[in-house]
Amino acid sequence: MIPIPLQEASYKAPKTFNVLFWDFYALYNLWWTYGSGKQAYGGHLQADPRAGGLGKRVDYAFEECTLMMASTLLTLMQANIEDEARNGEDELYAAPEKVEAWCRENGMQECLGPHGFSAPTMQMLRSGSPSMSTMAQFFLADFWGDMDSGWRQAFGDKDNIGVSVGPTGHVQTFSVAGAPWARICNLTGNLIAAKKSRSTPKMLAAIDALMHAEHNNGSIFNRQPILKRGIRFGKEELDARRDAMSSDAFLSRVSPFVKNLTNALEPVRTEEAYIVLAGNRLMNALLS
C-alpha cells in the first residue's frame, strides 16, 4: 500500500463545484468498497480486505466530503428558492394583496413589511424562518397566475399566461412556482434534516435526490443564482456519473487527494492490469 501522510489524511475543499461533485461520488465508490459503506446500510458484506487501515481514512474523507457537499448544495438551493420567491413581488405573476394575505394566514409574516411582501432572504431560509415545508406550500398557493395576476389581466386566456412576444416575433412561455418548486423545497428540507442528523447514508440519499431535481425549465443548476457563482454543471456531468462503473472512470476528474487515495487503495488493480497486458503480449508473440 502507498502510505498517505497523516497531515494529508483530511479531505480538502476543491476549487470548483464540478470537482466536488466527482470527489463525492468517487469517495462514495471507495466508501462502499473499502470503507464502512456496506455496514452503514445494515449489510453483512465485508469491505475489501486490501483496504487495511486505509479503510478508516476512506470513511473520514467521505464523511467530510459529504458534509461539504451538503453545505454547498444547501447554499445553492437557498439562493435558488430566494430567487424564485421574488416572483411573488411581481404583480405579473401574483396579485400583491393575495400574496400578503396568504403570508399572514400561513406563518410568513416575517416576509411582510411596510411596502408589502418581500421574498425571504437566504439568511432567513438558513435559519428556518420560513421553513422549507412552508416555502413548498407557498409555491403551491393558488394565487400564482390566477385571474387577478397581471398576466391574466392582460391576456385573460390561461394559454397565454406568462407569454412574452419579442420584437422579432419570438414567443417565450414562462413558468413560475408550482409543484416542481415545492418538490425542490421539500428535498432541500430533507437535506437540512439529514445534515442535522449527521447520518452519512441519509445525507447521501438527500444529496443524490437534489442533484437530479429539476425546476420548470430544466436543471436546478442552469439558473442565474447558480451561474453567477461560476458554476457550469449540467446533464452531461450527471450522464457521465451514471456511466462511471469503476474507479478508473473517476480518476481524471477528481481532486489530487481523492486520486492519491484511490491509487493507494488499488495498487493490486493496477498490477493486475499490467500482468494481463503482459500475458496478452506474450500469447500474441507465441501465436505469431
**Rounded Cα–Cα distance for residues 64 and 10 (Å):** 8
pLDDT digits (tens, 9 = 90+) for 152-175: 887 776 666 666 666 666 665 667
Query: Helices H, strands E: what count in the chain?
Result: 14, 6
- The domains of the chain are located at 6-287
Given this model, what pLDDT does residue 63 score? 95
Given this model, what pLDDT does residue 42 score? 74
**Residue 210 in contact with residue 191, Cβ under 8 Å?**
yes
Given this model, what pLDDT does residue 216 score? 72
Q: What single-letter amino acid sits at 254?
A: V
Given this model, what pLDDT does residue 1 score? 38
pTM of the predicted model as reported, rounded to 2 decimal places: 0.83
Give one DSSP letter per residue of 218-244, joined into a string. Answer: EEGGGSHHHHTTT----HHHHHHHHH-
Parts of the chain with a pLDDT under 70: 1-9, 43-45, 49-50, 157-174, 217, 267-288
